[in-house]
Amino acid sequence: MTTTQELHFDGLVGPTHNYAGLSPGNLLSAQHADSTSSPKRAALQGLAKMRRVRDMGIPQAVLPPQPRPDLRALTNLGFTSIAHAAAEAPELLAAVYSASCMWTANAATICPSIDAPDNRLHITPANLTTLYHRCIEPAFAKRFFDAVFADANHFAVHDPLPPAQGFSDEGAANHTRFCASHADPGIHLFVYGRRGMRAAGDTTESLHEPKRFPARQTLESCQALARLAGLPDDRVVYAQQHPGAIDAGVFHNDVISVGTHTTFLHHERAFLDTPAVLEELRAKLAALPGSPALAPIEVGASELTYEEAAACYLFNSQLIATHDQDQPGLTFLAPTDTRDHPRAKAVADRIERESNTIARVEYADVRESMRNGGGPACLRLRVPITAPQLAAMHQGVLLTDELFETLAVWIDTHYRDQLHPSDLADESVAQESAAALAELAQILQLPTLYDIT
């Protein structure tokens, strides 16, 4: 039997990491808008997390920063220079400087070859149409995945879904795969916030949509992602996120639930009808070979409110199967913000004490990312991959001890200790970023990655 393991792509924080507060509905991002960031500290925190997870036995790969500022995007908006944009529309200048591509969970949706009829690993970059600063990301993401997964015998890299509100797609942040093991067939949970397309006059479900903040994922995008991978209906569960959660700042499903293998940690009101979602997952999992049983772990609203979940990111943690015989069970890697939040820490302690599948809770310092609205789970994209597929992908992005040390030196050399949003008007920031990324392309052995014309 072919060995299958989970490869984690982590987003490498870019040189222009800054707090511009560009995401409505992301309360942490809004809370820290216009404050001073530390690109160097952010990148080193993310790199340290990559090595920590790799040392648990999970292969790690690097998803590099996108070119920022995106000068082509500025030109397309009619600006002739950074100074022009800074003078007339500083909010748009901030958007083309955004380092949000660091949150790799939004980069794509993954379907492993064991679930695909053509026995290939399927990657669909997210279109991220809801917000301008994110909708400029898909073209580069597609370029990157095409370069890393170039062997069409093993991989199918799709185009992003059409850039229309009806097909708004935010990637793996709204997708969870359940299975007995990564080598076994799985059930795919797709979570959406709204219907994207309705006939004229159709108000069905209109009362069950958020009123304060946008629902970023549509049912139609979820269905399209399943079709592209060739998933049959009996292998898919579609669930509507509770609109109250979205309006409370839970802008993606991975801020209110997390799952891997058969374990599913979720808030009791994560979905519009949570009991029905759990029942469908149980039934479809049980129908797979070996009849794996869902192991749900519920967090009650009395233990943690929506607002508290959005503030501490308990659910935006990583569930890691280490395969260490001396340490059986899953490791729950949470942000230190969870540890520092008394009620969230109490929940984490309960999970560690009571769960039959989560054996230990650990904490990672990713505060710079958290201040911009992304926790440990936002920073990684899970890719179940076979040994031949791992050998067939581009090797230069795989995290080794040598690459870790090289990236640490590169970050220390090129990144600023502090960056304020007002600094983005300084042309030298753009020049520094371009020089850093040109060197990074050589480090990752992708010399033409940033040659975008």
Counting runs of H as helices and runs of E as strands, what totals does the chain give? Answer: 17, 15
The label of the residue with tokens 């002739």 reads 80
DSSP state of 316: S
Separation CA 354–CA 149 (nearest Å): 41
- Amino acid making up residue 347: V
Q: In angstroms, how far is CA 373 from the centroid of its own chain? A: 12
Sign (positive/negative) of CA torsion 395, 397, 398, 400? positive
- Over the range 8-30, which residues count as b (16 or more CB within 10 Å of their CB) and which as e? bbbbbbbbbbbbbbbbebbbbbe
Q: How many CA atoms lie within 13 A of 293 on its CB side?
A: 4
Q: Which residues are catalytic?
A: 170, 252, 378
| Bridge partners, residue 239, by sequence | 191
DSSP state of 271: B
Q: Which of 240, 238, 234, 290 is nearest to 261 (CA)?
A: 290
| The 257-260 sheet, strands edge to edge | 257-260, 263-267, 295-299
Contact 418, 36 (CB under 8 A): yes
Separation CA 8–CA 114 (nearest Å): 18
Contact 356, 295 (CB under 8 A): yes
Geometric angle at alpha carbon 294, from 299 and 335, rounded to 5°: 40
Where does 269-409 show beta strands of DSSP type E? 295-299, 318-321, 330-335, 358-364, 380-386
Contact 219, 194 (CB under 8 A): yes
The label of the residue with tokens 């040390």 reads 405
Separation CA 336–CA 363 (nearest Å): 5
The label of the residue with tokens 């090595």 reads 51
Separation CA 194–CA 213 (nearest Å): 12
Geometric angle at alpha carbon 119, from 118 and 125, rounded to 5°: 85
